[in-house]
Amino acid sequence: MQVSPFVDQIRNALRREPSIVRVLEAQDKATIASCVEAALKGRLQGQGAP
């Protein structure tokens, strides 16, 4: 199974325990799942979010 480079970047960002992770693009299921994981941890800001 090939992992999207976006997934790797999101996971690496979460390891550093940031206050915010901003994702501008999520095109595949694995990336979207990683975005949901980040959001559940309270760290995801989507594009266009207030």
Per-residue pLDDT tens over the stretch 10-48: 888 888 887 777 777 788 888 888 888 877 877 666 665
State pTM to two decimals: 0.59
Terminal CA-CA length for the chain: 36
CA distance 1 to 18: 28
Burial of 38 (0-12, 13-18, 19+ CB in 10 A): buried
